[in-house]
């Protein structure tokens, strides 16, 4: 993929809100999601974010102002999930995005302009839903900084497993508990081994954590038994979102040896509602590089193109808003900020590794990148890292509080955006969720 007119930083929309400096959804972005009007019984359908509005793609498809692959794309987006659109592939994705760019551009005119104006729905009046019917969810573990930080909590003398530097590690998560941003959840029950105790106990999670991640939605799948080569991997990625893999650390650390996460991870995973396409992310490509002394990937996970442009410079932050913050009318305190460019493995390598044994991915499958942490302490993407396993307090200056792990009433907000000289700033919106008290009983 290369830069094209949809990436022009000088392009402007006739919708004024899309031209504001801090807008996540300018005309250069045009992310896809699924919505319906809040409080209505109308059918869910696909839409595209522009400024503070949504282009209703079902309505646009009915108006028949699009032709060819763009029209086929709009028709696929008229459904209650984007799975069929994701399955349609890069030609259709790009055709619809380019057609919408033309209709939303400040130079648009004629019947197409009038049609798209009539299809706008205010974002403030919309209820956002999951973008896809997620058949399978896989969560990777691809930040060496996160792996070292957490490893030092669990295994101080041997923090990094020997396979980490050679393949993108992952586990299969629970698709049924993936929820859209704004869906709150109860503190989970589970089994944990208290320090020094001879036997485990059942109870509400005492070490609840967030994980700053990004998610990838699979586009066209692959037949079972047919691996996806690294050079073709990104043709199978529809786009990316923000993802919070909420984690019950006390349950996780007790249960995961030897088979990996189970109940410590499967009670809730939150995703942002808008999916930013790989085409929109093109201006923010950076080289995939390994630090001096680190081994280079095996041949099947290495291509010149991946080395030249395999990473993405997505800026990310986590804000914690406690109940006390809300009482004081405060937005919360930033806990950390980092960039996706620090990941040890690229998105293409994750897809290729997932299929190397013959696993068949399907349209709408969700892949998490794993926690995104950078090389400094302020770039840690989970509170277990920030608090060094709960041994240190994390200050919340705005409210005067401290945290070792999350408390009931805490709202965690993930934000992501891309911004560099010579390109228009684009954003992912936000991914948020609030911790509710544990239910009275695990039964």
Residue limits of CATH 3.90.850.10 in the chain: 137-436
Class (C level, CATH) for 5-129: mainly beta
The matching CATH number, chosen from 3.40.50.300, 3.30.360.10, 3.90.850.10, 3.40.190.10, for 137-436 is 3.90.850.10
- How confident is the model over 369-403, as pLDDT tens digits? 999 999 999 999 999 999 999 999 999 999 999 99
Quick one: angle between helices 90-104 and 68-77, nearest 10? 90
Q: What are phi and psi of 386, to 5 degrees?
A: -60, -35
Query: Are the C-beta atoms of residues 112 and 103 closer than 8 Å to each other?
Result: yes
Tokens for 102?
A: 């033309």
- Quick one: pLDDT at residue 443? 66
**pTM across the whole model:** 0.97
pLDDT reading at 191 higher than 90: yes
Tokens for 138?
A: 């896989």
What radius of gyration, in Å, describes the C-alpha atoms of the chain? 22
Helix (H) or strand (E) holding 113: helix 110-118
Q: Tell me which of 105, 146, 325, 342 is the catalytic residue.
A: 146
C-beta neighbour count of 170 within 10 angstroms:
20
Dist CA 410 CA 217 (whole Å): 28
Q: Write down the number of H helices and E strands in the chain.
A: 11, 26
For the CA atoms of 130, 133, 136, 141, the dihedral, rounded to the nearest 10 degrees, stands at -20
C-beta neighbour count of 381 within 10 angstroms:
28
Q: What are phi and psi of 76, to 5 degrees?
A: -65, -35
pLDDT reading at 274 higher than 80: yes
Dist CA 6 CA 93 (whole Å): 13
How close are the terminal C-alpha atoms of the chain, in Å?
A: 52
Residue limits of CATH 2.30.30.230 in the chain: 5-129
- Quick one: pLDDT at residue 419? 97
Task: Using a pLDDT cut of 70, give the percent of the chain over it.
Answer: 100
- How confident is the model over 280-333, as pLDDT tens digits? 999 999 999 998 999 999 999 999 999 999 999 999 999 999 999 999 999 999
- How confident is the model over 101-123, as pLDDT tens digits? 999 999 999 999 999 999 999 99
Query: Are the C-beta atoms of residues 314 and 340 closer than 8 Å to each other?
Result: yes
Quick one: angle between helices 90-104 and 110-118, nearest 10? 100
- Quick one: pLDDT at residue 181? 98
- Residue 434: strand, helix, or coil: strand
Query: Are the C-beta atoms of residues 301 and 230 closer than 8 Å to each other?
Result: yes
The answer to whether residue 146 is catalytic is yes
- Residue 32: strand, helix, or coil: strand
Dist CA 303 CA 288 (whole Å): 10
């Amino acid at each position: 993929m290369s830069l094209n007119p949809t990436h022009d930083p000088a392009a402007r929309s006739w919708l004024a809100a899309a031209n504001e400096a801090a807008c996540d959804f300018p005309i250069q972005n045009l992310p896809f999601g699924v919505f319906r009007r809040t409080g209505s019984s109308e059918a869910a359908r696909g839409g595209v974010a522009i400024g503070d509005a949504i282009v209703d793609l079902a309505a646009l498809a009915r108006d028949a102002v699009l032709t060819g692959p763009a029209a086929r794309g709009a028709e696929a987006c008229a459904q209650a999930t984007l799975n069929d659109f994701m399955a349609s592939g890069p030609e259709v994705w790009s055709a619809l995005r380019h057609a919408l760019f033309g209709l939303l551009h400040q130079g648009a005119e004629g019947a197409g302009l009038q049609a798209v104006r009539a299809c706008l729905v205010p974002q403030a009046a919309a209820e956002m839903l999951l973008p896809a019917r997620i058949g399978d969810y896989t969560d990777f573990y691809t930040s060496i900084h996160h792996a070292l930080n957490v490893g030092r909590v669990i295994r101080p003398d041997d923090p990094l497993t020997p396979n980490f530097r050679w393949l993108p590690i992952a586990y299969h998560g629970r698709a049924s508990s993936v929820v859209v941003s704004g869906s709150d959840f109860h503190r989970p029950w589970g089994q944990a081994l208290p320090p020094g105790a001879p036997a485990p106990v059942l109870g509400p999670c005492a070490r609840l954590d967030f994980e700053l991640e990004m998610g990838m939605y699979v586009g066209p799948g692959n037949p079972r038994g047919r691996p996806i080569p690294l050079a073709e991997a990104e043709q199978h990625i529809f786009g990316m979102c923000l993802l919070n893999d909420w984690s019950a650390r006390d349950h996780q650390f007790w249960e995961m040896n030897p088979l990996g996460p189970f109940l410590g991870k499967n009670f809730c995973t939150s995703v942002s509602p808008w999916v930013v396409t790989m085409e929109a992310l093109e201006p923010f490509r950076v080289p995939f590089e390994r630090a001096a002394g680190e081994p280079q990937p095996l041949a099947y996970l290495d291509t010149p193109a991946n080395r030249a442009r395999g990473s993405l410079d997505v800026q990310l932050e986590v804000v914690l808003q406690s109940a006390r913050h809300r009482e004081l009318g405060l937005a919360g305190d930033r806990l950390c900020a980092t960039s996706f460019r620090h990941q040890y493995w690229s998105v293409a390598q994750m897809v290729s590794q997932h299929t190397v044994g013959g696993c068949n991915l399907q349209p709408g499958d969700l892949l998490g990148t794993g926690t995104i942490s950078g090389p400094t302490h302020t770039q840690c993407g989970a509170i277990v890292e920030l608090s060094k396993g709960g041994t240190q307090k994390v200050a919340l200056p705005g409210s005067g509080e401290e945290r070792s792990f999350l408390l009931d009433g805490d709202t965690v907000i993930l934000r992501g955006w891309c911004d560099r000289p010579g390109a228009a700033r684009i954003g992912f919106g936000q991914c948020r969720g609030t911790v509710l008290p544990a239910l009275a009983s695990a039964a």
